[in-house]
Amino acid sequence: MLLGTGAVLLTALIVLGNLWADYQPLSWGSTYGGGDGELGADNPLHPPATMIVGTKGHETDLAVSLRNNGRFDVTIDRIEFPLGWLQTVQVDRGGVGPGHPLRFPDRIPAHSEREYTFKVRVNDCFNPGGASSMENLHVFFHALGNAHSAWIPIRGGFVIEGGKTPCPGA
């Protein structure tokens, strides 16, 4: 009897430990957009993508939000755009207004959503007629005392279209 109870408790601890370590309550929120326009707004099957002009050094604002669907608060340590195409110049937290730059970490309470506005600079040159896209943000966060990271899908995605002039050496 004692051996059976011990085995059940050990199994429960292993399962709870795995759930604790893999806890990922974040999802894409209701806000997205900004940039330099939209692509695909006429496609009823897919949300429009946020378009960014791909001229190296070009700056634009991107609005995104994250939702904490979990029962516990989450602390966002940083948010990165993949592939290094975009450099974050400044981040403002939604609802606070421009001119109040956010410095991570930032806490998102349980069952809440937080909006962020990123001023980004295009880090690479994209030739006219070319395009590249991003469909996820890399979010680094703490929850339940553990560090985590997750790729959060972006509603509609971001499309970086080639600039007006050819890139040097192209």
Residue 17 lies in a domain: no
Residue 9 lies in a domain: no
Give the count of domains, the chain.
1
Residue 7 lies in a domain: no
pLDDT digits (tens, 9 = 90+) for 148-162: 999 998 878 888 888
Closest C-alpha to 102, from 87, 117, 84: 117
Residue 169 lies in a domain: no
What does the mean pLDDT of the chain come to? 80
Residues 6+ apart with CB under 8 A from 50: 32, 33, 34, 35, 38, 39, 62, 156, 157, 158, 159
Q: pLDDT tier at 8 (50, 70, 90 boundaries)? A: low
CATH, residue 113: 2.60.40
Residue 15 lies in a domain: no
Give the residue numbers spanning the domain of 158: 26-162
pLDDT digits (tens, 9 = 90+) for 42-98: 666 667 788 888 888 889 888 888 999 999 999 999 998 877 788 888 888 876 666
Q: What is the pLDDT of residue 52?
A: 87
Residue 135 lies in a domain: yes
Helices (H) and strands (E) in the chain, counts: 1, 10
Residue 96 lies in a domain: yes
Residue 108 lies in a domain: yes
